[in-house]
Amino acid sequence: MTSPAPRTVIWTGTYTPDGGGRADGIGALAAHPDGSLEWLGTAAKTDSPSFVAVHPTLPVVYAVAEQRKMVRAFRRSGDFGLEPLGEPQPAGEATCHVAVDPQGRFVTAACWGDGQVLLYQLDADGGMTRRLPAAPSVDPHAGLNPGEPRQSRAHASLMLADGRVMTTDLGHDILRVWNYVPGTGLVADHEVVLPFGTGPRHMVQHQNGNVFVVSEYSVEVFIVRPEAGTFELVFRGPATSAGSLPDDSGAEICLGFQGAYAYVGVRGSNIISVLEVGAEGTELAPVKDTPSGGNWPRHHLVRGNWLHVAHERSDNVATFALDALTGCPKEVVHDLQTPSPTALVPAG
C-alpha cells in the first residue's frame, strides 16, 4: 500500500487583537495540488506574529510579536502545531520582520517603529541566544528634510547569496549591506541610497545576483546590481501598469517562473502587478495589473503555477492560476477565509 504524499504546510503571519486583528496567532494552511488551501488551525497562540520565518534544517519557526517588542521561536509539534522554544527575546518598537540565515547561525529582526536591526545568534537546537544590535541608520537625505529629523524605519532583511545581509530602511530611503561576524553580529559593509521619499520596503534576489526592491511610499521597483563587491542602483521604474493612486502603498515583491516574472502587491488599489524581467535581470517592465481578490494585499506567494495572496483586512487568501506563457493571473480558483493574514511562508 502506497502511503500518501506529505502535504505542504504554509504558515500564516497574522494580527491578533493587540494589533487590531482577529487571529489567535500563527495559522497553518495545507496547500493541495489543485492550488486550493485548507485551514488546519492555529499552530501557536501568540500575539501579533505579523511575520514568520523557517529554520533551513530544523523544525523551528521564528515569529515577531510586533506590538510586544519581541521575537519568539517555536518548535514543530504534531501534525501542524508549534510549541514555544526558549524564552521570548526582546526586540524594538513595532518589530515587523524576521529572517533566518541559510546556514542556521542567526536570525535577524527589523523594527519599523525605532529603526533597529537586531541579530540573534542560534544554538544547535535553533534556539535564540545572544542578542546583538546593529549600528543605527543615519539619514543620507538629512539636508533635504528641514525641520524634524526623519525616523529610521527598518523593515526587512534579505539573506544574500554571497553570505551578506541586506536590510531596507524605508524611513531613510536606503538599503544597508552587512557582513556577519560571529560574536559581534552585523558589521556595516556599505549602503545604497535610493531617491528621497521612496520608502524601500521588501526585496527579493534574482538568480543572477541582482536584488529587486519594491518601495512602499512611491510604489516603484528598483534594481541594484553587485559591482566589484558593492551594490549599485541600475534601474528605477513604476511598479504597476496603470500607475498608483495617492493612497496606494507597495507591499511585497516575489519572483515566479524561474525568475522570468516579478509580482508586486499594492494596497489601496488592491492589485497584483506582474512585471516581466528583462535585459538579463536589469529591467522590470509592467505587464498587467490584476485585482488581488480582497482588501489590503499584505503579502503573497508564488508556488508553481499558483499565486496565493493574503489580505489583511478582508480576512482571506485568494489563489490564482497563473498563465504559464504570460505569467499573469488568469482567475481566482480558490478563496480561503482566514483571520487577518499578513504573511505566507512555506514550512519547508
Render each residue's pLDDT in the chain as its tens digit; 348 residues: 444 556 799 999 999 999 999 999 999 999 999 999 999 999 999 999 999 999 999 999 999 999 999 999 999 999 999 999 999 999 999 999 999 999 999 999 999 999 999 999 999 999 999 999 999 999 999 988 777 899 999 999 999 999 999 999 999 999 999 999 999 999 999 999 999 999 999 999 999 999 999 999 999 999 999 999 999 999 999 999 999 999 999 999 999 999 999 999 999 999 999 999 999 999 999 999 999 999 999 999 999 999 999 999 999 999 999 999 999 999 999 999 999 999 999 998
CA 287, 290, 292, 295 torsion-angle sign: positive
